[in-house]
Amino acid sequence: MRILITGGAGFIGSNLLIQLDQTEHTVRILDNFSNGDSGFDHSKTSNVIIGDIRDYNFCEEATRDIDAVIHLAAKGNVADSIKNPDENFQNNVKGTFNILKACEKNGVNKFILASTGGALMGNCELPVNESSVPKPISPYGASKLACEGYCQAFSHIHDININILRFANVYGPYSLNKVGLVNTVMRNISNKESIAVYGDGSSTRDFIYVDDLCRGIIQALHHNNKGCDVFHLGTGIETSIIELINTIIRTSKKEGILIKYLDKRLGEVLNNFSSPNKAKDKLNFLPSTNLELGVQKTWEWHLRTFSTKENI
């Protein structure tokens, strides 16, 4: 297939490109590079369109002669979406609408939307699954719910085969431009700074290593569904914030790390983990990297990258 990855220069896109390079697919990337450096060297990536999904003309150009779109481009930070909901809406909802409209115009038959689990589902009965009722509590979650709605509509009206993938909390290499707990903790440890915990640390998430997630995306790419379908890509394992932090500290072998407890932030889900059963049954998706191994691999990448940047 000829595949377009929007946001292909970002964290997940960079890791996905590595896996797709081992296949016979031809890959094109659309990115505006506004999120900065992921740590992945894209200088040798042959087919890159620099543009913004908020501009329909760029979307139409990027989707010409394409068989499938993997739509990763988005503003994905909950706190930022609360500070600037308009920017979040324009990037996520308007951007997704533009890509879908361009796919319809250029006859793209396959579309994969990167959605979210926790931010979309809000505080609901666990584990969440594809039958859970979405109840977003942040503009980011609401924007992803709107994107899912447009996917359902375009699939029905224009006969586009769409898989909506609700990601758990993703971590791993090439995540320099990602604002997230794992990166923040690792940076703070390297800089000998204290680690901030919002709340008492008992909040839980489902953490999935990026290589596992990318395999799930590729399996969804090859899934011969008709219409629009939804899958949660997660591990099904509930991990507390403080447990994750302690795992990273143990992995780093650093001592004297101070943890500061601050007030809980508005718009963040208290507890969330997802059931991977549907993805396992229909996509043959099963994560194979446990938290300890994933954190170890990410820490090793962080050390290499941190050391390189320190020496520049």
pLDDT reported for residue 119:
82
For residue 292, is it within any domain?
Answer: no
Bridging pattern class, strands 204-205 and 239-240 = antiparallel
- Whether the CA torsion 63, 115, 218, 160 is positive or negative: it is negative
For residue 278, is it within any domain?
Answer: no
Could you tell me the pTM of the whole model?
0.94
* Domain total of the chain: 1
Can you spell out the DSSP letters for the chain? -EEEEETTTSHHHHHHHHHHTTSS-EEEEEE--TT---S---TT-S-EEE--TTSHHHHHHHTTT-SEEEE------HHHHHH-HHHHHIIIIIHHHHHHHHHHHHT--EEEEEEESHHHH-S-SSSB-TTSPP---SHHHHHHHHHHHHHHHHHHHH--EEEEEEE-EEE-SS-TT--SHHHHHHHHHHTT--EEEESSS--EE-EEEHHHHHHHHHHHHT----SEEEEEES-S--EEHHHHHHHHHHHHT-----EEEEPPPTT--SB--B--HHHHHHH-------HHHHHHHHHHHHHHHHHHHHT-
For residue 217, is it within any domain?
Answer: yes
Q: Which residue's structure tokens are 């409209």? A: 101
pLDDT reported for residue 160:
96
Tell me if residue 150 is catalytic: no
For residue 246, is it within any domain?
Answer: no
**CATH, residue 19:** 3.40.50.720
pLDDT reported for residue 95:
98
For residue 97, is it within any domain?
Answer: yes
Q: Tell me: the pLDDT tens digits for 157-172?
A: 999 999 999 999 999 9
**pLDDT tens digits, the chain, 312 residues: what are they?**
999 999 999 999 999 999 998 888 999 999 998 877 788 887 767 788 899 999 999 999 999 999 999 999 999 889 899 999 999 999 999 999 999 999 999 999 999 999 998 888 888 888 999 999 999 999 999 999 999 999 999 999 999 999 999 999 999 999 988 888 999 999 999 999 999 999 999 999 999 999 999 999 999 999 988 999 999 999 999 999 999 999 999 999 999 999 999 999 888 889 989 999 999 999 999 999 999 999 999 999 999 987 655 443
pLDDT reported for residue 41:
80
For residue 18, is it within any domain?
Answer: yes
Other Cβ atoms less than 10 A from the Cβ of 230: the count is 19
Q: Identify the CA nearest to 83 among candidates 164, 203, 179.
A: 179
* Domain membership of residue 50 as a residue range: 2-171+208-233
Alpha carbon distance 139, 88 (integer Å): 7
Given 56, 140, 174, 209, the catalytic residue: 140
Q: Tell me: the pLDDT tens digits for 108-134?
A: 999 999 999 888 888 888 899 999 999
pLDDT reported for residue 308:
55
For residue 66, is it within any domain?
Answer: yes
Q: Identify the CA nearest to 149 among candidates 159, 170, 139, 134.
A: 134
For residue 103, is it within any domain?
Answer: yes
